[in-house]
Amino acid sequence: MIEVKNIQKKFGDKTIINDVSAVMEPGKCNLIIGASGSGKTVLMKCMVGLYVPDSGEILYQGQDFNQIALEQKKEIRKEIGMLFQGSALFDSLTVEQNILFPLNMFTGDSYKQKAKRVNEVLDRVNLKDSNKKFPAELSGGMKKRVGIARAIVLNPKYLFCDEPNSGLDPQT
């Protein structure tokens, strides 16, 4: 379970998040709804450990994420997938290399096992045979689907999606 307790995040003098609390359980769908610029993305980045809140706590299974050892954080991050609003692909890496990135960071699997998993998730997002393409060769919707594939490649317990439908056509 991920618990957010009274977090606050500022950038300079501007308070972006003030006294936000929430509970996220694996397998449940939670929505963060708000106007553009209201802090939804900042909240998610705090929850996945990309930003440190100025006050409050982010708890994973009851442990304060900011107080635990780096090796333990790595184990927790394996359980979290993140789809960024702009897909956040590495332009200099192929589709396959982009999706391999979390597998290389968090698993000791052989290349053959990793490549099999990459092909499985690419098939799942209807991008079979796109492995060797670079992001510049893809449409916006295709980039979004590569981002989805990368977010799910580790079968995370938690999947955080920032504007998951933007850039996708109605059939996707």
- Looking at residue 14, its pLDDT comes to 96
Instruction: Find the mean pLDDT for residues 121-135.
Output: 95
Report d(CA 159, CA 145) in Å as an integer.
14
Average pLDDT for 54-69: 91
* Residue 96, pLDDT above cutoff 90: yes
| Statement: 2-77 belongs to CATH 3.40.50.20 | no
What percent of the chain has pLDDT above 70?
A: 95
Please compute the mean of the pLDDT values over residues 109-119 and round it to a whole number.
96
- Residues linked to residue 22 through DSSP beta bridges, in sequence order: 4
Instruction: Note if the pTM is more than 0.75.
Output: yes
Label residue 165 exposed, middle or buried (CB < 10 Å: 0-12, 13-18, 19+): exposed
- Residues 83-94 pLDDT 10s: 887 778 999 999
Residue 169: predicted pLDDT? 64
CA distance 79 to 47: 12
What single string gives the DSSP state of each residue in 50-61? SS--SEEEEEET
**Band of pLDDT at residue 71, cut at 50, 70 and 90:** confident
Output 77 or 124, whichever has higher pLDDT.
124
- Indicate the pairing of strand 55-60 with strand 80-83: unpaired
In this predicted structure, what is the pLDDT of residue 99?
97
pLDDT digits (tens, 9 = 90+) for 16-41: 999 999 999 888 888 888 888 889 88
Burial (Cβ within 10 Å: 0-12, 13-18, ≥19) of residue 34: exposed
Domain ranges, ordered by start, for the chain: 2-77, 83-161
pLDDT attached to residue 22 = 93
Q: What pLDDT score does 52 carry?
A: 93
Question: CB of 95 within 8 A of CB of 131?
Answer: yes
